[in-house]
């Protein structure tokens, strides 16, 4: 989309995505004591010292992928969270999931992209680890990489509306973006079920 070529638009998008992921990660950090969670290759032994905002800014600065890749990466993260409920996004894995999702999106979307060794340097990890992350991320998605124009537009429109409100990400509601009543101990996802297109419009209008 033409709007994504606007540097100011992308700056706002990166900021909003960072804020959203921080909200989701912190929410799932609180939930980890109430729901069993698996340890995966995405988990670090400690929380990274670099903030999600700074990390995503770094990826945006050095990955040189098309702006659409960040929307597609967001779709992938949501699919991953829905397909792997025992591996919720939290403060210990969000950075590795981010670099994996953007790299996979770039490879799927762009005609030209950097190799795994380059993304490993951008992400601050070894090439070997980057290779393992890519494989596990692909299997976690069930190799469901295709993003239809309708799905892309739905996710992009959702993000755009939230950004236009110029407010922090909403506290999570009946969609996966909010806690909702009686859901405070449940795993928080990122967005919504992309296949329920008719229901999406109702959610986005809320």
Domains located in the chain, CATH noted? 7-31+52-164 (1.10.472.10)
**What pLDDT sits at residue 33?**
55
Check if the beta carbon of residue 71 is closer than 8 Å to that of residue 65.
no
Rg for the chain (alpha carbons), in Å? 16
Longest dimension (CA), the chain: 46
Stretches where the chain sits below pLDDT 50 are 34, 172-188, 192, 196-206
Supply the DSSP symbol for 2: G
pLDDT at position 4, please? 63
Rounded CA separation 53/18 (Å):
5
Q: What's the pTM?
A: 0.75
């Amino acid at each position: 989309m033409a709007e994504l070529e606007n540097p100011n638009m992308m700056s706002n998008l990166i900021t909003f995505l960072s804020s959203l992921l921080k909200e989701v990660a912190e929410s799932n950090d609180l939930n980890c004591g109430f729901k069993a969670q698996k340890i995966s290759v995405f988990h670090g032994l400690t929380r990274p010292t670099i903030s999600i905002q700074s990390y995503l800014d770094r990826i945006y600065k050095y990955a040189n992928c098309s702006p659409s890749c960040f929307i597609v990466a967001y779709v992938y993260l949501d699919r991953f969270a829905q397909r792997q409920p025992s591996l919720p996004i939290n403060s210990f894995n969000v950075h590795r999931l981010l670099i994996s999702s953007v790299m996979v999106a770039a490879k799927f979307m762009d005609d030209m992209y950097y190799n795994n060794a380059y993304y490993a340097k951008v992400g601050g990890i070894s090439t070997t680890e980057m290779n393992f992350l890519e494989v596990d991320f692909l299997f976690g998605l069930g190799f469901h990489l295709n993003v239809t124009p309708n799905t892309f537009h739905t996710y992009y429109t959702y993000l755009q509306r939230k950004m236009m409100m110029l407010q922090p990400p909403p506290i999570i509601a009946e969609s996966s973006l909010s806690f909702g009543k009686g859901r405070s101990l449940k795993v928080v996802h990122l967005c919504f079920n992309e296949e329920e297109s008719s229901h999406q419009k109702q959610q986005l209008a809320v």
